[in-house]
Each structure stands twice: as C-alpha cells, then as structure tokens.
Amino acid sequence: MCETRQSGLKGVSVASVIVNTPIRSGFWRFILNLDAAGSRLFSQAIPGQFAEFDLSSAPLPPAESIPPHLRDRAAKQILLRRPFSFSDISIIHSAEGDCVKLEGIYCVLGPATLRMTNLKIGDQISILGPLGNGFTVPEDLATAVLVIGGMGAPPILHLAHDLKQKHPAMENIAFVGARTFESLPFQLRIGNKTGIVIEDFERLGITAHVATDDGSAGAKGFITEKLRLWLDQNTPDPDHTVIYACGPEPMLKQCAAIAEQTNIPCQVSMERMMACGIGLCQSCAVRVKQEKQEDPEYRLCCQDGPVFDSRRVLFKTVNA
Ligand SMILES: Cc1cc2nc3c(=O)[nH]c(=O)nc-3n(C[C@H](O)[C@H](O)[C@H](O)COP(=O)(O)OP(=O)(O)OC[C@H]3O[C@@H](n4cnc5c(N)ncnc54)[C@H](O)[C@@H]3O)c2cc1C
Ligand code: FES
C-alpha cells in the first residue's frame, strides 16, 4: 500500500492510528502508519525532527473522562496544528510496498492532546512534516550522552533507537530527570537492585540514571547533577563525545554550562510555541549568538532548530 523512496521534502500526509493507549497518568503513547506520500516523506526523517498534527476534527472524549483541571480548556476550538516529535520511526517492509511507522509519547495538557486521547484504531489524521533539522551524529562519535527532562523524552528516545541500530558499538548513557515519579513519561518498573527501571532504555541495553526534584524516583535533585558527577568520574574523550539534551530550558542551560566546562559538544532540542511550524509566522524565535559579531540574532526554532549547538543559544532562564 505504502512505498518508500528517498526524499528531503516536507508535506502533508495522512496517518492512520495503530495504537493510542495510556502509559500512565496523563501520558499516552501512539503509533501511526503513514500513507504512501507520507512514507516517502518520512523515510529519511532523523531523530529530533517533528511534525504538525491537525487535531481540529477529532472529537472530545466523553465529559466524564476529561480531568477536572482541563474541563475549562477542553472546549476551546483548535485553529492551529500542534507540533509533536517521535520516539521512533521505522519502516515496515511488505509485498505491497514499504510503509513508515511513527511512534510517539504525549502529555495531555489541553484541547488538542485531550482530543488525541479519543483517537481510535483506524482513525486518520493529517500531519505536516518532517519539520526542523534534527540531531547531528559525527562519524567518529564514540560516546553519546543522552539527557532528558520530563516531556523531552521522545526525540532522545528516537535518537537512542537510531544509534543502537546504526552504531551498535557506540557507548550510550542516559540521564532522565523529572519533577516527580508521576511526571516521568515512561513505562517504569522497580528493579531489585537498580531502583527505578525505564523499560524503553532497558530494552535498548542503555543504562539510564534517574533523578527527580523531590526524590520520589531515583536520586533527589536535578538530573544535571548526576550528569556532572558521571562526567567527572568517567571523563569521556571530548573529541569523540556529544551531549544530546531535550527538556525544560533551565535544564538545557545547565547542560550547556556543563558542556562548556568539560569541553564536550552539546546539542539541545529547544521548545517554543509554534503557530505554523514552517517559518511563516515568526512565533518561535530563539536568541542565538552570531558567529562573528557581538549582537545576538534570532533563529526560528521550527526551521533552524529545534536542535541547536548549545554554545550558540542565549537561554531565557537564569538558573536550573
Ligand atoms: C518541536 C516540538 C515537539 C514537541 N513534541 C512533543 C511530544 O513529542 N509530545 C508532547 O506531549 N508534546 C510535544 N510538544 C508540545 C506539544 O506541541 C504541546 O503540548 C501541544 O501543542 C499542546 O496542545 P493542547 O491543545 O493540548 O494544549 P494547549 O492548550 O495548546 O497548551 C497547554 C499548555 O502547554 C503550553 N504549551 C503548549 N505548547 C507549548 C510549547 N511548544 N512550548 C511551551 N509551552 C507550550 C501552553 O502554554 C499551555 O499552558 C512539542 C512541542 C514542540 C515545539
Ligand atoms: S512556528 Fe511559525 S515561524 Fe516557526
């Protein structure tokens, strides 16, 4: 039905819902199969790229299943598409042709994500993508240090899948932080000796260190403290190591500071409100240093990002 060909283009395609299920309170997981046009577009998509979903025609879930804190927002009309990253992209080969499968995780926050929870198997949505630049993996990379803060999980998980598949000998280590146990957007279990186990990383054979602000899962404190400690103790070669981070801006700022101190390159995936996703509305500006001049300039998160070299970003927030 679908076929795959190389393409660097973006466009609108139709995605069919294969899986849409809660992972744990407030977090859901989806799998979508793309039509032929979408499969062509997404067959070359890389981790960190995203798509804009049109959820305007999806119906709201029944009133009794809308959490009380979202009831006021639920009825709001959805005029704009919403951006979502992916936790994996794979190609299903079949006699009818190849078909691209998109997997993701979402947090239920407002009218669009509430409607998303009501999508049933076989429902179709329109998606625009792949958008943005994605992460860069240097050819001589030996160690990938993956840092997640809360809902920064999907693009970093996608990168972890990609690295395992394309660079099986590479050393990967993950650092996962959240405010509390409840705000970790993963399937979790309690390991006998290791404490909290994030099953997505366990399946990939990647050790994941966990920290929460209140200590309800993993170590108590910011995950960047764990990152700093690990780098101090393990001193990976800065010429063959990259820190990849996605999460709240204070965490990204802290990762950038650690990267500068350890001389390790760092790529941060930034989040901005995105009205169009394709460079038209200018709503997603990120302030960056210019290469040769002192004055800062603005780059578009949807087009020039969402992934930026941390050395160039002028972060908004003061402290982690
Ligand atoms: C590149 C990119 C990739 C993303 N990937 C994912 C993903 O994989 N999974 C996921 O759950 N979410 C992701 N998001 C965020 C997601 O787009 C929003 O949560 C979603 O649009 C919320 O829509 P809503 O109508 O349900 O809620 P809204 O009512 O639109 O928003 C609910 C609350 O979230 C805030 N918010 C919404 N979007 C953003 C944003 N971009 N930046 C900061 N605050 C925001 C709003 O201010 C509001 O307070 C991504 C955002 C970007 C920019
Ligand atoms: S979201 Fe419109 S320019 Fe980036």
CB contact at 8 A, 115 and 98:
no
Q: How far is the CA of 276 from the centre of ligand 2 (A)?
A: 5
Instruction: Report the C-alpha gap between 268 and 291 in whole angstroms.
Output: 18
pLDDT in tens, 158-171: 999 999 999 999 99
Mean pLDDT computed over 36-58: 95
**CA pair distance 116, 135, nearest whole angstrom:** 27
Residue range 192-200: average pLDDT?
Answer: 79
Ligand 2 contact via 282 beta carbon (within 6 Å): yes
Q: Is the pLDDT of residue 226 over 80?
A: yes
Phi (first) and psi of residue 76, to 5 degrees = -55, 135
Domain parsing of the chain, residue ranges: 11-131, 143-270
Q: Is the pLDDT confidence value at 67 over 80?
A: yes
pLDDT surpasses 50 at 4: no
Question: For residue 307, how far is its CA from the centre of ligand 2 (angstroms)?
Answer: 14
Please state the rounded mean pLDDT for residues 256-265: 97
273 lines ligand 2 (CB under 6 A): no
- Is the CB–ligand 2 distance for residue 60 below 6 Å? no
Q: Please, what is the average pLDDT of the chain? A: 92
- Measured in Å, residue 98 CA sits from the centre of ligand 1 at 31
Question: Which pLDDT score is estimated for 46?
Answer: 96
- How far apart CA 1 and CA 98 sit, in angstroms, is 8
Strand partners, 294: none
The per-residue pLDDT for 94 is 84
- Report the predicted TM-score, pTM, of the whole model to 2 decimal places: 0.94
Q: What is the mean pLDDT of residues 3-24?
A: 81
Q: What dotted CATH number matches 11-131? A: 2.40.30.10
The set of residues, in sequence order, having a beta carbon less than 8 Å from that of 74 and lying 6+ positions away, is 60, 66, 110, 111, 114
- Cβ atoms of residues 161 and 105 within 8 Å: no
pLDDT at 3 exceeding the cut of 50 = no
Residue-wise pLDDT tens digits, 105-127: 999 999 999 999 999 999 999 99
Looking at domain 143-270, which of 3.40.50.1820, 3.40.50.720, 3.20.20.70, 3.40.50.80 is its CATH number?
Answer: 3.40.50.80
